[in-house]
Amino acid sequence: MAEPAGAPDITVRDLQRLIRARYHETDSARGVPGTFMWLIEEVGELATALHENAPDRAPTPEQRANLAEEFADVLAWLTTLANVAGVDLAEALTKYTDAGRVKGVKP
């Protein structure tokens, strides 16, 4: 997949810091249950966008742009939830970067 021109390259740690810096006061007040509900709402919106971009349909440029936005929203809300729950996502992802930890694939 080609990287779009001008798209910033950001690490998971950088994203988590950015989300924390911008939103942590509000996110902390909402707590884990409220933040989880926002994440699930965004997952539902992503599901709708994926359905609209199904291989048997010809998605419009607007639908493709919406799909990208919904992926970004889900990632942002997952990152927010990790912040509120006190989880370092970069550290958590070592589960997948350490070759000996995850074996096999789900069918």
- In this structure, is residue 21 part of a structural domain? no
Let me know if residue 80 belongs to a domain. yes
Over residues 13-61, the pLDDT tens digits come to 999 999 999 999 999 999 999 999 999 999 999 999 999 888 787 888 9
Domain count, the chain: 1
Tell me whether residue 105 is in a domain: no
What does the alpha-carbon distance between residue 40 and residue 23 come to, in Å, rounded to a whole number? 18
Asked if the structure places residue 92 within a domain, the reply is no
| CATH code of residue 38 | 1.10.287.1080
The answer to whether residue 18 sits within a structural domain is: no
Lowest mean pLDDT across 15-19, 42-46, 71-75, 95-99: 95-99
Residue 78: pLDDT above 70?
yes
* pLDDT band for position 87 (cuts 50, 70, 90): very high
> pTM, whole model, 2 decimals?
0.84
Residue 47 inside a domain? The answer is: yes
Single out the residue of 45, 14, 34 nearest to residue 84, CA to CA. 34
CA distances from 99 to 29, 55, 86, 107 (A): 38, 33, 25, 20
Note whether residue 99 is domain-resident: no
Is residue 75 assigned to a domain?
yes
Domain that holds residue 76: 30-86
